[in-house]
A and B are shown apart, each in its own frame.
Chain A
Amino acid sequence: MSDIEPESGTSAYQKLLGDLPGTGPGTKGGEMLRRYWHPVCLSANLKDVSIAARMLCEDLVVFRDGKGRPGLLGIRCSHRLASLEYGQVREDGLMCSYHGWRYDSQGRCIDQPLEPCDSDLKSKIRHLWYPVEEWEGVVWTYMGPAKENPPPLQKIDVLARTDGEAKLVDGDIWNYNYLNWMENFADMGYSVILHHQVLRDLPEELKPFNDYSIKNWMPYHSNLSKPATG
């Protein structure tokens, strides 16, 4: 950073820089992100216990009903706002543990056990829900408009390949904006500096096949007594 003050005003570029990191509803970045399918959790982790899942600034709960179908609902029960993280999985949906309101995976309220038998209140409740799909070991959701008719899930090739075994590892949570990470992959130059990316030496049996000129580009590392040669 220099002592040059950022330009004042609202040029288009400055506006863009302000819009880029947004992920919440109503932000320009967040609305763009909501047009894509996003991973919620790994299928293997979604058993018969609901899981709180904050996604794109929205607090949600993911669950698998008694028939094995995944669902994604707003985390606060529409009744008295108790957390559905503590909900109970039922055959056809998720039941709030507080007063028993029960929701199916499309947010329809299907039971209110403390209401009179002739009450039609539940038909007027539509709880926050998002469509989900399971594909290749991942539960995905689409949080954009027209969620009854979302675009097809964007399938990433490496998870569907049959010439090997795909391994998924989750749980690594980082505490800054996602674009800090994504911009990394448009910025290959840093790898040579930060990671000291070099090529290691070859196994003997592969040397006949290799062009040794590739070893000449290894960067010299100041902490080594000589240029790294594998």
Chain B
Amino acid sequence: MKTVSVLDTGDPEVKFVNTWSIAMPIHWRFSGIRSGFPPDFTDERQEGGGMIRIIDDTHFELIRYTLFRKGNYPWPFTFGLPPEKKGTVEKKPYDKRKYSGWEGVPALEDLVLQESQGDIPERRLEHLATSDRGVITMRRIWHKAMEDVANGKDPKGVDRHQNGMLEVDTFHGHVKVNELKIGPENMPSSIEGRGLIRDQNGKLVFAREPS
């Protein structure tokens, strides 16, 4: 499953596209290649993600993986505000909460808010909204997989006749509106540098020509 956000940039001809991926049932991926840089720019080609070791209904272990590629710029370029602007929420002396507001530490923020949903959330009390369409889609996929197994079939992602690789790539960067096509036929990709990278003239270039 691929989650895609398309954000306005101020220029109606340009959108910012961000993708995350899930491979059932335990893998996630984010932060693939980003467009807008020279074709040989590699610092942003840090591939992040991970997998879960499911311990039981209320415990799991994160096993994070990151692919580091040698870059031609020495310092990291990442999402997020500069360090001097992180942690701008003033912690009041009488505030005993684990988390008081934005602190610029994604792992802490994820931990506290997800834990606060309940160790097993009572999802019947939710009120899902338009922005939850990804969650709804994911639950449909899980539901279909559970039904398939109950009916004696293999679930999505299990193929007994192949021994291939799961391509779970991601992408983030700006894309011209007339080149934006959400769907598997034209999904920007980070595999081996394939994907949308622009030269100085704004034309798309490929580190490797798509086959």
Structural contact, B154 and A151, CB atoms closer than 8 A: yes
Residues of B within 8 A of A210 (CB): 36-37
Q: How far is the CA of A14 from the CA of B122 in the complex (A)?
A: 10
How many whole Å from B79's CB to the nearest CB in chain A?
A: 5
A2 at interface (Cβ–Cβ under 8 A)? yes
Q: Which residues of A contact B (CB under 8 A)?
A: 1-2, 6-7, 14, 16-17, 19-24, 28-29, 31-33, 35-36, 38-42, 54-57, 138, 151-161, 163-189, 194-203, 205-206, 208-211, 213-214, 216-217, 221, 223-224, 228, 230
The interface on chain B, measured as residues whose beta carbon lies within 8 A of the other chain's beta carbons, has a size of 117
> Given contacts A183-B135, A187-B134, A210-B37, is CB(A166)–CB(B67) below 8 Å?
yes
Q: How far is the CA of A164 from the CA of B25 in the complex (A)?
A: 25
- A169, A175, A200: the one within 8 Å of B81 (CB): A200
How many whole Å from A176's CB to the nearest CB in chain B?
A: 4
Query: Contacts A29-B142, A155-B163, A200-B80 given; 19 further ones with Cβ under 8 A?
Result: A24-B56, A32-B155, A39-B63, A152-B163, A156-B165, A158-B47, A161-B67, A164-B69, A167-B66, A175-B59, A181-B60, A182-B28, A196-B102, A197-B80, A200-B81, A216-B8, A217-B7, A217-B8, A223-B88
Q: How far is the CA of A100 from the CA of B159 in the complex (A)?
A: 40
Q: How far is the CA of A177 from the CA of B57 in the complex (A)?
A: 5
Residues of A within 8 A of B111 (CB): 174
Query: Majority SS of interface residues in chain A?
Result: mixed
Residues of B within 8 A of A152 (CB): 159-160, 162-163
Q: How far is the CA of A203 from the CA of B79 in the complex (A)?
A: 14
Q: How far is the CA of A177 from the CA of B126 in the complex (A)?
A: 16
> Given contacts A36-B158, A163-B192, A176-B118, is CB(A170)–CB(B63) below 8 Å?
yes
